[in-house]
């Protein structure tokens, strides 16, 4: 049995991932704040509970951090997101270093690339400009010293994770359930998405294939426009697709967060996953939605 340490195990991806980790193969050590945690930490105070359970761990999967879409991005919220994400990443890296956990997987996001409406991004693409770029850049930078020491580090840049149990999809589907769904803005912005089940399978694939290092785009090989995504949701829910959410309304109601998360475009390809032999279970938006809403 191998021992795996997970921070943020109670989040959307963490909870789903545990279903894929067989108890016969993996002993899970959860790092977090709550009573359910095996090892307690306080990233804001840069402290963690030293524990025998962390010794001889085979891998660390870092999934912890403030949800960037939880609140409107006022100045204080943006500062808190940067602080919290950075604090979590730095403390996770410190644990890996102290306990010599050499196999490290880090949750980042395609927000690293920013708004790229006229290009296709791969793992070779440079960091963009904007708030999400800053957040992802700082997360990844926190683990660079480990990489320089010879630790195996993989930065999993997640796309928009689709799950019926939380995250973006229930929020996107709600207008359609209320018979009021339609395009957001002009609808031509590209959404690089990924099914929650493929996220977990990709994590296991990366975990077991230690030759995969550096940035790894965890996105479907078939990105779609906002219009295609909306029409697919409407079709799956048997609802009309007609009521638009204009760009000015997005900016008025949600400010910078709405502009960045709903109106900006970024087409991302999972080159490294595909070249390493990974096969997506739900590569198309229709196959994913059909499974999630079955």
Contact 201, 255 (CB under 8 A): no
> What does the domain layout of the chain look like in residue ranges?
2-227+253-292
Write down the pLDDT at residue 213.
98
In this prediction, residue 143 carries a pLDDT of 98
CATH topology for 2-227+253-292 is: Rossmann fold (3.40.50)
CA–CA separation, 194 and 284 (whole Å): 9
Q: How far is Cα 289 from Cα 200, in angstroms, rounded to an integer?
A: 17
What is the pLDDT at residue 85?
Answer: 97
Mean pLDDT by 10 residues, the chain (294 residues): 95 96 95 92 95 97 95 95 97 98 98 96 98 98 97 98 96 95 97 98 97 98 98 97 95 95 97 98 98 94
Q: Which of 251, 81, 72, 109 is nearest to 192 (CA)?
A: 109
The DSSP bridge partners found for residue 200 are none
The pTM of the full predicted model, rounded to 2 decimals, is 0.96
Phi and psi torsions of 50, nearest 5°: -70, 135
């Amino acid at each position: 049995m191998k021992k795996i340490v997970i921070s943020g195990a109670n989040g959307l991806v963490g909870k789903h991932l545990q279903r894929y980790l067989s108890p016969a193969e993996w002993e899970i050590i959860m790092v977090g704040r709550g009573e359910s945690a095996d090892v307690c930490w306080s990233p804001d105070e840069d402290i963690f509970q030293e524990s025998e359970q962390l010794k001889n761990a085979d891998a660390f999967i870092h999934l912890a951090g403030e949800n960037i879409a939880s609140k409107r991005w006022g100045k204080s919220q943006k500062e808190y997101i940067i602080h919290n994400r950075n604090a979590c990443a730095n403390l996770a890296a410190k644990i890996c270093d102290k306990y010599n956990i050499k196999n490290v997987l880090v949750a980042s996001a395609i927000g690293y690339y920013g708004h790229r409406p006229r290009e296709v991004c791969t793992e070779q693409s440079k960091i963009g400009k904007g708030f999400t770029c800053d957040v992802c850049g700082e997360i990844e930078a926190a683990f660079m010293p480990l990489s320089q020491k010879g630790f195996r580090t993989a930065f999993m840049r997640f796309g928009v994770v689709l799950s019926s149990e939380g995250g973006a999809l229930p929020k996107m589907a709600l207008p359609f359930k209320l018979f009021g769904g339609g395009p957001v803005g002009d609808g031509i912005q590209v959404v690089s998405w990924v099914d929650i089940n493929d996220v977990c399978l990709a994590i296991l694939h990366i975990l077991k294939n230690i030759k995969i290092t550096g940035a790894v785009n965890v996105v479907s090989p078939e990105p779609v426009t906002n219009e295609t995504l909306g029409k697919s949701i409407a079709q799956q829910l048997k609802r009309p697709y007609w009521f638009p959410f204009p760009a000015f309304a997005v900016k008025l109601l949600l400010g910078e967060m709405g502009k960045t998360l709903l109106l900006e475009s970024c087409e991302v390809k999972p080159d490294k996953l595909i070249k390493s032999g990974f096969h997506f279970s739900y590569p198309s938006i229709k196959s994913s939605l059909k499974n999630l809403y079955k």
